Structure 1
């Protein structure tokens, strides 16, 4: 019999009722097509198309990492590399929080040569999973850029390049751009930089990374072109000294909530933006929308919850997560496990650069234990790396998985599809729960849990929206 899924909504809980599964009806479960997931592991990335085909002039195509990586590596090799990047990303985010809060306590302005506070693109740490392509300068020269909601500063590698890593396109040369304008040390935009200094070129910037990678150079204003849209006088970093393994990207498009982020600099057109992050093991591509199209998409089929800014960490989008449900039942959690305290530590952010959702240990253990009970009908497998809850699904066609739900302070709920909760870690049928505990203060809703979900950020009304099946 065909399996049917209908939604039943009760206060604070979203249930999915599935049709007959092994002769029974399960409430609070979703189906996972194991066979289809394993077949997708050997698929090739989609060919790049015109990113505006059928879309509006404020739309960018979003690509996953495999578009820029040559070679014939196995899924297992790619997955292990992802986990290495992932661990570094989370460590660097938490270190940034600690460094910034400690800096606030002692006071003082950081300078470029201090290499202190970490304003990260996080590309080596995992945010380099998703890219877009924009034009820089006049005439526009195309560059791959990493998308990152955990960063503000927009930057590209620039000539003259004292130390540049390899990238897919020629390094941007500002001497050939009619719209490149250096920024003075006394300008308002220079004062917005978290790490700034003054040199012979004017205002200098630095973005530093948890693994020692960095970009240092001149700050300027430049024209950026994306889709069929040209945006003038965008503050960008022009990196003359850069170090790191950035997978062919020419720089970073910061999508954070700070005053130098790309959405903020867009003004009214950046007040609302949305993205769809595709499954990195699929053949499809996603998109990033700004302007009227993003507003229209944000209002279609989304559930909204407030986002708020930590006054000491303006970059991040914090959301008021209060509960987690498993299989339609609320998990018992400490009352303040997801709140940040008077020092600015703690809280939950939505981050495009972190892959695996990280929860405070007490919350993770409670959620995991409830999930294990709900998965008792399936055989266990050994854990691997950061994953301690794995299953042997080899030979299975479709299995039922307890639905994991995020529940927010205003009653909004997001019930995650099974494919966003249980992911393959090898090509033989081992699947693991795609959550992990964090040793830091920050909890993070990662991009595996966001895949296939349209995520919208509305800074006018301070709302984050989630829409299932709208990509």
Structure 2
């Protein structure tokens, strides 16, 4: 997602992340941990509209929940962690600009993190928090709803002129034939309830010992993975194996414990998975649930993963519904009705 900040404006390109709230970008100076970027870093000294936010302000308290952390100059110091690293720096106020669907530039003031110590290793420059917390871009522009349509993985390499789409406010509603909706629970992220997954016609429940707990699945546009707790994943994998008439690869050190095949899994030889959210069934075809993780090898692996023995293990009985399986759906978030909606869509055509 592209946002311009500063005066004169500087384009920053960030991951649109529904599982976080802060908007931040690497800034000059950036320490030795900062991952080398394709695009120039934002230099606050070159912007006439940049100002640091006081550590005694309400905005700073929103970062830290209770009290702000102060720099020697009484500026607000932030530290924001992710499963893959963290960003630390100064919370600042700046002019931001995005382009409307009519092509007009829309400007607004925004509190954002100017990161001077960033340990996330990514070629994406910034993070644009889309959560429902007070510091997310959604809340700061006063929007009550937004939607996006993500391209299938790899589309940007075959046709760079096609991009994913995101829309805020009026006109971003997800309506029409095929729309299904599920509620998200209270909090500043979008946790919905996953009741189970059907493999073909066989239902596998989320919880083998009873009803699934509310808010067990985070809708996360900033993470590729569809990750499930170990017990649920193991039962799901057993059923997927049963329904694919091909022997999986065994004892390959490149693959670890992943379920992979030497034959491409397609709509002809693989099962359709139906994800049963509370009140909403989302159908995933094999092209969405199997991928080729290493392009130099003819391996085709199950794209749903197990949280065990990963950085997601601390989630316990919760999981992540990542961006890989969100592709080719128009997905809408309504902060007033607290609903997430899904509509099957060819995102390359929007």
* Length-normalised TM-score, structure 1: 0.63
Instruction: Tell me by how many angstroms 1:152 deviates.
Output: 0.9
1:334 touches 1:363 (CA, 8 Å); kept in 2? Answer: yes
Name the counterpart of 1:447: 323
Name the counterpart of 2:92: 220
Asked if 1:139 corresponds to 2:16, the answer is no
Asked if 1:290 corresponds to 2:168, the answer is yes
Q: Residues 88-144 of structure 1: CA distance to partner in whole angstroms, max 9, x if unpaired? A: xxxxxxxxxxxxxxxxxxxxxxxxxxxxxxxxxxxxxxxxxxxx2221112211112
SS of equivalent to 2:291: strand
Q: How do residues 243-392 of structure 1 correspond to structure 2 at under 5 angstroms?
A: 243-247=119-123, 249-267=124-142, 270-282=143-155, 283=158, 284-295=162-173, 298-300=174-176, 301-309=178-186, 314-332=187-205, 333-336=207-210, 338-339=212-213, 347-375=216-244, 377-382=245-250, 385=255, 388-392=258-262
Name the counterpart of 1:436: 305
Q: Residues 303-356 of structure 1: CA distance to partner in whole angstroms, max 9, x if unpaired? A: 1111113xxxx342111111211102322442557426xxxxx82111123322
Indicate the structure with greater helix content. 1
CA separation of 1:264 and 1:387: change in aligned 2, threshold 3 A = farther
SS of equivalent to 1:292: coil
Q: Residues 279-319 of structure 1: CA distance to partner in whole angstroms, max 9, x if unpaired? A: 22222431121122312xx123421111113xxxx342111
Instruction: Tell me by how many angstroms 1:158 deviates.
Output: 2.3
Q: 2:64 aligns with which of 173, 183, 194?
A: 194
1:157 touches 1:239 (CA, 8 Å); kept in 2? Answer: yes
Instruction: Tell me by how many angstroms 1:235 deviates.
Output: 0.9
SS of equivalent to 1:156: strand
Structure 2 CA distance, aligned partners of 1:457 and 1:220? 27
Number of aligned positions between the proteins: 322
Q: Bigger shift: 317-326 or 435-444?
A: 435-444
Structure 2 CA distance, aligned partners of 1:194 and 1:385? 40
Q: How do residues 69-84 of structure 1 correspond to structure 2 at under 5 angstroms?
A: none
CA separation of 1:365 and 1:161: change in aligned 2, threshold 3 A = closer
Structure 2 CA distance, aligned partners of 1:398 and 1:305? 27
Structure 2 CA distance, aligned partners of 1:358 and 1:397? 21
Structure 2 CA distance, aligned partners of 1:460 and 1:405? 27
Q: How do residues 8-47 of structure 1 correspond to structure 2 at under 5 angstroms?
A: none
Structure 1 CA distance, aligned partners of 2:83 and 2:278? 33
Q: 2:286 aligns with which of 415, 418, 423?
A: 418
SS of equivalent to 1:240: strand
CA separation of 1:144 and 1:304: change in aligned 2, threshold 3 A = same
Structure 1 CA distance, aligned partners of 2:341 and 2:266? 33
SS of equivalent to 2:77: strand
Asked if 1:205 corresponds to 2:78, the answer is yes
Structure 2 CA distance, aligned partners of 1:425 and 1:145? 23
Structure 2 CA distance, aligned partners of 1:374 and 1:238? 50
RMSD: 2.5
Instruction: Tell me by how many angstroms 1:186 deviates.
Output: 2.1
1:348 touches 1:443 (CA, 8 Å); kept in 2? Answer: yes
CA separation of 1:374 and 1:165: change in aligned 2, threshold 3 A = closer
SS of equivalent to 1:370: helix
